[in-house]
Amino acid sequence: MSRVKSLAKSVAVLMATALPMIPVTAQEAPQPVSQQVPANAPRLIVAIAIDQLSSDVFAQYRQRFTGGFARLTQGAVFPAGYQSHAATETCPGHSTILTGNRPAHTGIIANSWIDQSVTVGPNVVYCAEDVAQRSAGSKDYVASTVHLLVPTLGEWMKQANPAARNIAVSGKDRGALMMGGHNIDQVYWWKGKGFATLNGRDIGPAAVAQNDEITKALAKGAPEFPLPDYCRRADRAIKAGSATVGNGHFALKAGDANAFRTSPRLDRATLDLGLKLVDEQKLGKGAVPDVLSVSLSATDYVGHSTGTEGAEMCIQLTQLDMALGDFFASLDKRGIDYGVVLTADHGGFDLPERLHEQALDKASRVSSAVSATALSATLGKKYGLEAKDLVLSDGAAGDYWLRRDLAPGLKGKLVDDAKALLEADPQVEVVLSAAEIAATAMPTGSAETWTLAERARASYNPLHSGDFVVMLKRGVVPIPTPGPGYVATHGSPWDYDRRVPILFWRKGMTGFEQPSAIETVDIAPSLAAWIGLKIPEGAFDGRCLDLDGGPGNTCGAIR
Ligand SMILES: [Zn+2]
């Protein structure tokens, strides 16, 4: 049996023991599910993920919103939602939202991980890639949900009622695929200069029309966005390595597709495509509810390229608020009875160069001492081993792997040494071995009080996880050298990256604000109950939230 197969088998056994009702591989059929749509259920679920929208940034701008965000804050508002796991990256975050499962169960432990059994191309595996379809020499990968181990809400809906439509659009393939899942009617994401879909599928009329509009807009170029008064104090240049950020206003040079992608224009184009698909697929008009997933990526691109506290983020959120407002108004005009959930795949953190000027002098950039290369050299010398690829990782923080041909006893010694070496570094908070993490119980209770080991446990899946996990100190940014396009990031186990708003809205609902912590894995069970979808016991890590602020209870008997 190959390593991957035997691992898959042991994971299947492990997961089947822990969660008897959950399908453990993408290939296994989901368990029976039934649906009795309540007469007052929304006919279309619109699930929106704002990539990198932290609770902190949301709180900062909340009072400024007059468009789509303002509407949603009249609904059920949870300002302290948690992407509760440690590896707060895009792919794991999106995988929790509509599966109701933490990355430990979705299998999506990071954006990328190392698989030393890969024979074609590099051993870094992308979360939304089918490695089996790699071809030698090709730089492109085949987008797929093969690594997602659990079904999404849309898949449960389609299983209960095959007429239900499951549609997803995003600025990123992983955003669309992790929310849509395996059984998806239409899926589109930004690629290059327009929207693309899965290999073997045609681009439908809605996407063709959207791509035509984008081509024209790109050819024309566009002026800067206006700077609202409340953005003025943030409108200040900051130097970060070879990049200067803080005072960008997103003028678009004709033909610059990359500038289009890293601007508010990407989100508006994604929402426009969503609306075209609503019309084309007659969403919300059928006998049973449909689901439209919309993952909006520009906030993340703006965050990575310019940070969270500059004029760029201020303009981006202003424009996003307006685009969301227009999108909801268009749904209203079509007379669709829709329910919205809006959240984020993770939070974010500003760049150290600006944080230093803004009273956070402890923020820093990770040094090259915390790296797989440095560890390989030190440990190779100590044990007389070939240093090349002795220790592997995809970045300074997160999962690390040891060369797979090492004897288990030696591997254990190397993990212990790596832990001691790294924990002596002033930038490292803790190093947890896979054994320590696996021995930690899956956390329960409020996500804000979890230990770091518990956060790591929620991110741990033995099929994909490494031999140990490195957690940097709070405020240490894992980008050693900033440059144009990449000055700030997320991904840490700290709350600035874990805390995201979760907003539910529907016309006429009794809204409320609940400041206590909830989790993004609570979204899927809450939406399922909202539309009368009865999912087998044990299928979710999350719980149903009663979205009715009055005496009614949207969890009903399913709670
Ligand atoms: Zn993201």
Angle between helices 90-97 and 173-180 (to 10 degrees): 30
Q: Which percentage of the chain shows pLDDT scores above 90?
A: 91
pLDDT of res. 559: 40
Q: Structure tokens of 278? A: 């609503």
Query: What's the rounded mean pLDDT across residues 306-322?
Result: 98
What mean pLDDT, rounded, does the chain reach? 94
Listed in sequence order, the residues at least 6 apart from 167 whose beta carbon sits closer than 8 Å to its beta carbon are: 154, 180, 184, 185, 186, 187, 277, 281, 283, 290, 291, 292, 293
Active site residue 481: no
Query: What residue type is assigned to position 385 of the chain?
Result: L
Distance 33 CA to ligand 1 centre (A): 31
Residue 175 pLDDT exceeds 80: yes
What's the average model confidence in pLDDT over 69-78?
A: 98
As a whole number, mean pLDDT of residues 139-163 equals 96
Using the mean position of ligand 1's atoms as its centre, give its distance from the Cα of residue 216 in Å: 28
- The confidence band for 322, taking pLDDT boundaries of 50, 70 and 90, is very high
- pLDDT one-digit tens code per residue, 232-263: 999 999 999 999 999 999 999 999 999 999 99
Cα 557 to middle of ligand 1, angstroms: 35
455 Cα–ligand 1 center, Å: 18
What digits encode the pLDDT tens for the residues 281-307? 999 999 999 999 999 999 999 999 999
**pTM for the complete prediction?**
0.94
State yes or no: pLDDT of 424 exceeds 90.
yes
Amino acid identity at 75:
G
Ligand 1 centroid – CA 499 distance (Å): 13
> For position 7, what pLDDT does the model report?
40
Q: Which of 88, 90, 145, 308 is catalytic?
A: 90
Q: What is the 3-state secondary structure (H, E, C) of 414-465?
A: HHHHHHHHHHCCCCEEEEEEHHHHHCCCCCCCCHHHCCHHHHHHHCCCCCCC
Residue 170 CB partners (closer than 8 Å, separation 6+) = 49, 176, 179, 188, 189, 190, 270, 293, 294, 295, 296, 297
pLDDT in tens, 338-378: 999 999 999 999 999 999 999 999 999 999 999 999 999 99
